[in-house]
Amino acid sequence: MTSPLPPLADLHCHLEAVTTPLMARKLAKRHAIDVSRLFTETGEYAWSTFEDFLSVYDAMARVIRTPEDYHDITADHLAAAAREGVIYAEVFVSADHAAGVGLSFGDMIAAVGDAMDAAEAAGGPIARMVATSVRHYGAAKAEAAARLAAEADHPRLTGFGIAGDEAFGAPRDFARAFDIAREAGLGLTAHAGEICGPESVRAALEWLKPERLGHGVRAIEDPSLLAELAARGVVLEVCPTSNIAIGLYSGWAAHPLPDLIKGGARVALGSDDPAFFGASIGDEYRRAGEAFAFGHADLAGITRTAIAAAFCDEPTKTGLLARLSA
């Protein structure tokens, strides 16, 4: 694809994972932390397996220690997104990672929200936060994260979800956390169908009842499940570069994105862990266009789906759609 990209939307991005190696070193220096073991000789994050990635992710997140740090990584991320033409961005914020360095959830989201306010005032993306529990931290911590999200009084915190090691536990273990968030009126999303197969997606739909699924790509392995997703209108937050980086697919040519769309699934794109996997949301749109011959209208349709599924109010969606159509 050689034509300009349409306006972009990113529904699946972990805030800690926007921290570039350069920014991580800056924060480490700010707090006198040795992070040398986290990087390769060429300066990238050093990991090989998915489990290794989770470990390095958690270690890197410990350099993000103060409200100023969270403000800085958010501002850096949204400035880069603005340069790519992003009009709407959601980020996953983790109470557990903040608590791990002694920072309250309220202080973290206030700092992130301030950076979002400034970015929007400067003409950057409209942004929202999705409070995210970490599956391999267990059900009790997920319920605590859901309560924090439900009790938070911040207009930019509009969703709740679960991430982490999909092979840990079962979706039914986290049903109460999702009930807490649902009762508070938060939008719901759940990672499923990436590391584990279609059964993971089915269980998430049954027990968590989310409006969106993080990844969900392995639904392609079960035609009846794909048909169910299409019928229910559940939106898949697809992150192809991430799937390829962890070895789920050998490359873009093997990725099921076009088959998911042909099967009727509603699909948005996400950058997931851009600083780890080396792909921004602009890269995801661009590579999808090149790999699958998606034209401008196809990619604009992906943005339109993302906006319709966004965890923001209807007037905001109307304004975003107007910008997309301009």
Structure token pair of residue 215: 């990844």
pLDDT in the model for residue 326: 75
């931290």: which residue's tokens? 137
Nearest-angstrom CA–CA distance, 260 and 239: 13
Please give the average per-residue pLDDT across 43-58, as a whole number.
Answer: 89
Share of residues in the chain with pLDDT > 90 (%): 94
Question: Strand (E) positions, 22-100?
Answer: 86-93
pLDDT in the model for residue 167: 92
Question: How far are the Cα atoms of 76, 120, 124, 176 from residue 79, in angstroms, in the given order?
Answer: 5, 10, 7, 37
Smallest CA-to-CA distance from 161 within 14, 56, 17 is with: 14
Active-site residue (options: 194, 237, 284, 290): 194
pLDDT in the model for residue 17: 95
pLDDT in the model for residue 1: 46
Known active-site residue 68: no
Residues forming a β-bridge with 133: 162
Nearest-angstrom CA–CA distance, 256 and 219: 10
């229910």: which residue's tokens? 232
Residue partners of 83: CB distance under 8 A and separation at least 6: none
* Residue 48's pLDDT band (cuts 50, 70, 90): confident
Nearest-angstrom CA–CA distance, 238 and 257: 8
Please give the average per-residue pLDDT across 172-178, as a whole number.
Answer: 98
Q: How many Cβ atoms sit within 10 Å of the Cβ of residue 189?
A: 30
Residue partners of 30: CB distance under 8 A and separation at least 6: 69
Please give the average per-residue pLDDT across 157-181, as a whole number.
Answer: 96
pLDDT in the model for residue 72: 97
Nearest-angstrom CA–CA distance, 33 and 42: 20
* Per-residue pLDDT tens digits for 233-255: 999 999 999 999 999 999 999 99
Q: Are 129 and 91 a contacting pair, CB within 8 Å?
A: yes
Nearest-angstrom CA–CA distance, 109 and 107: 6
- Give the DSSP letter of residue 267: E
Q: Are 259 and 249 a contacting pair, CB within 8 Å?
A: no
Nearest-angstrom CA–CA distance, 250 and 196: 17
* Residue 134's pLDDT band (cuts 50, 70, 90): very high
